[in-house]
Amino acid sequence: MKKRNVCALALAAVMAGSLTACSGGGSQTGAADAKAEAPATTAADTTEASSGETKGLVYWSMWESTEPQGQVIKEAVDKFTADTGITVDLQFKGRTGIREGLQPALDAGTNIDLFDEDIDRVNSTWGSYLMDLEELAKGAGYEATANASLMAACREVGGGTLKSIPYQPNVFAFFYNKDIFDEAGITSVPTTWAELDAACQKIKDAGYTPITSDDAYVLCLFGHHMCRINGYEATSDIVKNNKWDDPSVMETAKAYEEFAKKGYFSENIASNVFPAGQNQELAMGTAAMYLNGSWLPNEVKNMAGDDFRWGCFSYPAVEGGKDGTEASNFGAQVLAINKNSQNAEAAFQLITYITKGEFDKKLSEESLGIPSDTTNTEWPSQLADVKPVLESLKTRYPWAAGAEDNVDMTPIIKENMMKLCSGTITAGEFVANLKAAGN
């Protein structure tokens, strides 16, 4: 997958109006296990009636019905049905259910008109099942108030063609506790690795843990640092082809080894299972920083409370690196239509209900998310510091910034990053362990 470049002009124009989703990507981790799937709907139940009118739609969603996103989508679906008379079989699959169940269902011919998930997963993993949406979007005048940078990203991951519609935009960055920064005497966010080092020392001296992470997100630390050195394409090549002798791997490992030696990471980082880092440390005010997605404030809002002051900054630049703070993993959840759907126009109409106007605004409000409709200009206060980060972005990384581009190595990198950050292995041992596993 090539690096995604999104021009600064498009981003600036979009962000003047607007620009996450749930956890993880992109991610998307931490959701409850999927509910049991409903019996497959037959074609007769959902295809067009003999009169030519649509009888109903089948929509598989990645959300749980109890999540704010699921609740708002249910409201949108109900209004859609009330307004159009088109019924919708809305099935909340959860992350596990849709990731494990969608492709087998599509392969088996199960009648599914539309579905949603992360931008990269939908367009890459399930790309062969997607309908081209260019004509539907043009006919509906959809892009008049759409997020231009995310529409461009959807086309890029779709091979140059629009095959999905973004909603619940998100960005990956360091989220931090402003009160801790103030107490530690940090007056500006770090933009370089040296500045992050200095900030961590001040935070440690003030009696707090500088950085926390866990098994769900530690890979993102590795991926973003590697991409700062190499850019995405070279990083992906290293990971995919087990080129662990590349000097950037040792450079990344040494950077984290040094931070571990200085005591900058949570003492629980080797054993933190999501959501321990965000729930028990960041939200509770003992840890200052956490590399995560812009869905984080929503996930911990009940624990952090209304008085938690959220800050955000892009992963710092490294000396001599190819990419700087203008690059990051950003994206959205997306809605896509099954290429075999007989109800494409109705499905696109439902997508418009969810991603525009009233329900886009409500999704933002209820999930502390970023609106995707540029006419919805008001953001949740918790995300105020996210806006300048997004405005500065020119280059898009996919999920985990390349760290998960080799499925066989993903658990190996994760295990060794947790050990490296906890100080139980050295940078040399980290690289040796990756080389041994990759041979």
What's the CA gap between 14 and 119, in Å, rounded? 18
What's the CA gap between 187 and 171, in Å, rounded? 23
The whole-number pLDDT of residue 54 equals: 54
Q: CA nearest 174: which of 137, 149, 203, 146?
A: 203
What's the CA gap between 432 and 277, in Å, rounded? 28
The whole-number pLDDT of residue 402 equals: 96
The whole-number pLDDT of residue 391 equals: 84
Share of the chain above pLDDT 70, in %: 88
What SS3 state is found at 158?
A: coil
Domain 4-170+330-397 shares a fold with domain 172-328+400-438: yes
- The first and second tokens of residue 166, run together, are 């973004």
What's the CA gap between 5 and 176, in Å, rounded? 27
- The first and second tokens of residue 187, run together, are 């007056």
Count Cβ atoms below 10 Å from residue 408 Cβ, excluding itself: 10
pLDDT at residue 17 is higher than 80: no
Q: Predicted confidence band at 412 (pLDDT cuts at 50, 70, 90)?
A: very high
What's the CA gap between 93 and 104, in Å, rounded? 14
Please, what is the average pLDDT of the chain? 89
The pLDDT of 146-173, averaged and rounded, is 95
Q: What interhelical angle do 410-422 and 218-230 show, nearest 10?
A: 100
CA triplet 18, 20, 26: central angle to 5 degrees? 125
Q: Identify the CATH number of the domain defined by range 172-328+400-438.
A: 3.40.190.10
pLDDT at residue 29 is higher than 90: no
> What is 4-170+330-397's CATH number, 3.30.300.180, 3.40.190.10, 3.40.50.720, 2.30.29.30?
3.40.190.10
Q: Where are the domains of the chain?
A: 4-170+330-397, 172-328+400-438
Q: Predicted confidence band at 41 (pLDDT cuts at 50, 70, 90)?
A: very low
With left for phi above 0 and alpha for psi between -120 and 50, is residue 94 left, alpha or beta?
Answer: left
The whole-number pLDDT of residue 176 equals: 98
pLDDT at residue 394 is higher than 80: yes
Residue with token string 């997306």? 334
Q: Report the sign of the C-alpha dihedral through residues 231, 237, 239, 244, in that order.
A: negative
The whole-number pLDDT of residue 155 equals: 97
pLDDT at residue 328 is higher than 90: yes
pLDDT at residue 434 is higher than 90: yes
Q: How far is CA 368 from CA 82, 129, 384, in A?
A: 27, 31, 11
Q: Predicted confidence band at 53 (pLDDT cuts at 50, 70, 90)?
A: low
The pLDDT of 108-114, averaged and rounded, is 97
The whole-number pLDDT of residue 4 equals: 38
What's the CA gap between 117 and 124, in Å, rounded? 11
pLDDT one-digit tens code per residue, 295-321: 999 999 999 999 999 999 999 999 999
**First vs last C-alpha separation in the chain:** 23
What's the CA gap between 285 and 181, in Å, rounded? 11
Q: Predicted confidence band at 390 (pLDDT cuts at 50, 70, 90)?
A: confident
**DSSP string for 349-366:** HHHHHHHSHHHHHHHHHH
The pLDDT of 65-87, averaged and rounded, is 97
pLDDT at residue 43 is higher than 70: no
Classify residue 66 by burial, with Cβ atoms within 10 Å: 0-12, 13-18, 19+.
Answer: exposed
The whole-number pLDDT of residue 166 equals: 97
